[in-house]
Every structure is written in structure tokens, then in C-alpha cells.
Structure 1
């Protein structure tokens, strides 16, 4: 199985705004009259995390560029984002965006959420971050093959730590074993995945040699790798990352896996075509803006912009493939 991120769609897409009797005016873009007077951004997590940072960066940059009259951020925490997803499912304000991403795709399945992403209106994918697989510096594993071979031979004696069960880190572990040739029926019984809610806990387990390996976003582990306290075995994207230039991709190592922790936005499923067009236009102009490009650099986020039909297609494929992976690792039936 392979999950490949599509190349970023050209951000110079020109989308005509339809005039409605709602809070939409003719777009002036970049400081003129805003197409959307008041925008509500729902962050389905508590303050401080990746989704919250994304929502608040959007709020600031949309207002700075004059792409909306005003924007507010509301945190609706719980169940891997599915509580916030349920709010969007019943939302009647068309000028509303929900920050979401790969973690939510997995959480919908593992929590058996009643509200589903398919019930929303996809707007755009914005950013992504590669995952990295690391081991303690003292580990006998020198390559990703060493780790995978040991799991295939000794199963749950090999402990791998990462974020929440069913999240990006857990999904990557399952995909890695799939790509190694392990039969799907054996993955659940062979994978010893120890979930932690925060990167600090998983890092402590690694530095204390309490686990064999760890998986997280590159930003979580890069500093410890650079300091020589951890060894990076592979990264999960299509290309190597600047922070760890000597670390091969899984593809380079011979595993047919490409996975990134992406983040994007969706709108209520009840909006009409004109309302979707207005939101998509605002987010597209945001992605083009100097303010957003500066935010990407400041946050070390990779630009993964994708909108329109391309994002619709990407999201459908991502959901289908994650469903398969989660079944194979025994988290969903």
C-alpha cells in the first residue's frame, strides 16, 4: 500500500465569486473589500497544538491580507478532532472552516464517529510534515531494515512509541510492516505500539531506552538526532528533509511507503456552490500571500496546498487507504 501526496496545485487559480445576499461582497483581495465579512475558524483541539497553530495563523494572515473582514477561532477539543467535526456537521453559518487533517481521518475510524469527513465540504489542504523513525543512539539498529527484520522475527518484543493510537505515527508503523511483506493478518499480533499523548513522553521513553524505536513528526525529534542522542533511520516523505539530510526516505530504503501528516480545512456540508467558491477563493489567496509564505517559513511547515477537485480526490483516496491500514493493524473492524 502506498499513500502519495499529490503535488501542490497551482495557487494562481482564479475563482469567480458569485454575488449573494449573505455576507459576501465583491472580492478586492490583498487589502480591498473582503469577500467574506466574518469568518469562523473551528479548531477541533485544545490550544497550542498543530491544529491550533494552523487555525490561529490563518486567522492572523487572512485578516492581515484583507481576505476576510474579521476571523475568530473557537477551540472544540475532544476525541481526535471528532467532537469539532460533529459541530461542523450541524453548522448553519456558511462562512465557517474546520481545521483538520490526517489525524482526524484516523480518529473518525477508531472512534467510530457518527459525523464523518465525507459529510463536510472539502476546501483545501494547506501544510504537511514528514514523519521520522528513530532509535536511541545506543541501539543496535543501524538501518530501517534492522528494525523491521527484528519485528518480523520477534514481534511484540520490539516496542515502538509514538502519538495517539490510530494517529499518524501508528498508521506509519502499520504501513511499514505491510510494505515489508508481513501478511495483513499478522500485523496486529506483531506490532507492539505504545501510544503517548505528547511528544515529550515518547522522547523520554526513547532516551531512557524503554522502547526500541519511536515515530513522530520530524520537528519533534530532529534536535535530539542532531545532538547525537537519537539515530534517525528513515523519513516518510517523497524526498529527504533539510533538517536530517543524511536520513534516507522509506522509498529509498526499499519500502513502498510515502506518508505525510497533512493539515487542511473543510466547511459545513450544507453550503452551496457559491459559498464554497468564496471560501476556496479566500484560502487560495491566503496560500499565495506573502504573509502565509512567511508563516510557513517561521513554523517550518511544508507547503502542501491543494484545492478544488484535486483536494476532493486526494481526501477520498486518503480516507479509503487509512481505513484499510487501520483494519490491518487491528484498530478497526
Structure 2
């Protein structure tokens, strides 16, 4: 009788897929956007019982490409391994001529997005985006821009602005800073003409009145944000700095489906939505073939811009 009971229990357990103990690679230092995304995933996946144990490992360097290479080489076929990344990684793969790309992992979904914001110090004589564009047209090199890493989302956005303003993108004076704090200090210290980063990076200073927000890169005005879009300012530019999650290479269709289902359960949970609201992140969840198509289009467009800027041959 005991043998029948045991066999029945084993059959019941086998009928349900094992719950994964995920490890998420954040290919950046602690505290940044990718690290925050990974740790938010960790919290929600554990709170929602999607995974009993989620570990986060930081592997920083080279715009995420060091972590990406390590992840791809060490986790083939491992359905319990995830990595976060995003638009910055797309640019870094191209500018660093990385031998490993997003084609070497299994993209699962776009999770969140932030729009770029263009600011000037409150004391700047530049009052609006039209004034900044006029200065850019008059002497591109005299307008200095503070932003994140070379070839990253901020740099790409400046290149797109220059192109839309019919200014040679190779003549832009872009100063790359390794951290948001350094860029912010340069802007507040009037060491540069303008600054560009995700809206959240500047929100507190804009509200305090120490920075003037000229425009945002969204398609439409953002609720609660007193600034026009770049399109309203006469520049045909729309851009989102998105973040994504990918799984390891070499997964079976069944493994990919299980990971995708876990991520979908996470993003549709109340816990995830509460985290997005608290952090000011937009819910831009996109998965499957739609995400694959968006990723392909973004890689093609980014390569074109980086060639225009002169960062990619």
C-alpha cells in the first residue's frame, strides 16, 4: 500500500514543473538602473512565490558587455539564469565591438522604460529647446552636453537631436560621465551647456528649481511633467531608454516558455505594479515575437546613429 501511495505522490509532483531558483545577473555596479531592475525582480518574484530563492550577482563593465559575455559562456541551457539589460547595452555592443551580442542569449521581454530629459542650469540664458537648438546650429562645438557613457542612450539621443536639427552629428560636443552624480554636478556647476539623462535622474533638481527642464523624448506629454516633447519643440525625435530581461542561450522551447510565463506572472502582479509606481518607471512590457521585432529594429537604428556620430565604423 505504501508503494502505491509513494508512486501516486511522485506522479503528482511530476505533473507540476519545478519552481526555479533564479539567479539574475545585473551587468553593472550596484545602485544603477540595471541593478535596481534586477533587485526589484528579486523582491517581486519571491513575494509572489514565482521563485522561492532569487539571487542577484553584479558583473559590471563596458556597458554591460562583460556581464553579457560571462552570462552567455557560463549558462548555456541553464533555464534558471537570467540577465537584465537594455538600450544602453545595444549601443555598448556596437561601440565596444563586443564578440558577444544579444543574439547569443534568449531575449524574453522588455520590462520598463524611461524617457530622456534635456535640462539646463536654472541660471542659463537658454529658456527653451528652440533656444538650445539655435545655439547648436550657430556653433555645434560650443554647446557642451553632459550625459552617460559614450555610445549609450544619452549620447544616441543627442545624435538624434543633432540630426533632426540638421546639424552634423560628428560635431557635437558630448562629454561622457561614468555616473549620474558626476554629470549632475557638472550641470549644476555650469561646467556644461546642457545635460541629458533619464527623466528620473533630474526630477528632484527640476522640482527644486535648480535645473530647467526643456523637453522630454516621449511621444506625448508625460502626465505631471511640465515640459514639451521634442516633437512639440520641432524635432522629430522619440526615444525610450528601455530595460529588458533575457535568458540563457540554448534553451528548449519548453524551457523558454516556462521562463516567459514566470516573467509574465511577475509583470502582471500587483507587487510589480506597486514597484513601478514607487520608482516612476513606465510599464512597457513587451514579449514574444513583438519584442523580437522591436529589438531588431532598435539595433538597426542604433547602429545607424552611432555611425553618424562616428563611434562605429
Structure-1-length-normalised TM-score: 0.86
Matching of residue 311 in structure 1 with residue 278 in structure 2: no
What is the number of equivalent residue pairs in this alignment? Answer: 299
Structure 1 gap ranges (5+) = 1-22, 28-34
- Aligned partner of 1:177 in structure 2 is 162
1:284-295 mapped onto 2 (5 Å cutoff): 284-295=264-275
| Selected match of 1:159 from 144, 162, 169 | 144
- Distance apart, 1:198 and its partner CA: 1.5
Task: List per-residue Cα deviations over 1:247-298 (Å, max 9, x = no partner).
Answer: 0011111211111111010112211111110110000010110111111111
Partner in structure 2 of residue 277 of structure 1: 257
Q: CA RMSD in A?
A: 1.6
1 CA distance for matches of 2:25 and 2:254? 21
Q: Distance in 1 between matches of 2:52 and 2:293?
A: 31
Judging by fraction of residues, say which structure has more helix.
2
The match for 1:253 is: 233
Instruction: Check whether the contact 1:41–1:99 (CA below 8 A) recurs between aligned residues.
Output: yes
- The residue number in structure 2 matching 1:195 is 176
The alpha carbon displacement at 1:109 in A equals 0.8
> Corresponding residue for 1:62?
45
Q: Which residue of 1 aligns with 2:202?
A: 221
Q: Deviations over 1:180-205 (max 9, x none)?
A: 123xxx311x2000111112211221
Q: How far is the alpha carbon of 1:24 from its aligned partner?
A: 9.0
Q: Distance in 1 between matches of 2:133 and 2:248?
A: 42
Name 1:18's counterpart in structure 2: none
1:52-91 mapped onto 2 (5 Å cutoff): 52-90=35-73, 91=75
Aligned to 1:37: 20
Aligned residue in 1 for 2:188:
207
> Against the structure 1 CA distance between its residues 65 and 206, is the aligned structure 2 distance closer, same or farther, given a 3 Å change threshold?
same
Q: Equivalent residue of 1:303, what SS?
A: strand
Matched residue of 1:231: which SS?
A: strand
1:161 touches 1:214 (CA, 8 Å); kept in 2? yes
Of structures 1 and 2, the larger Rg is shown by 2
Higher relative contact order (CA 8 A, sep 6+): 1
User: How many Å apart are 1:37 and its aligned residue?
Assistant: 2.3
Name structure 2 gaps, 5 residues minimum: 1-12
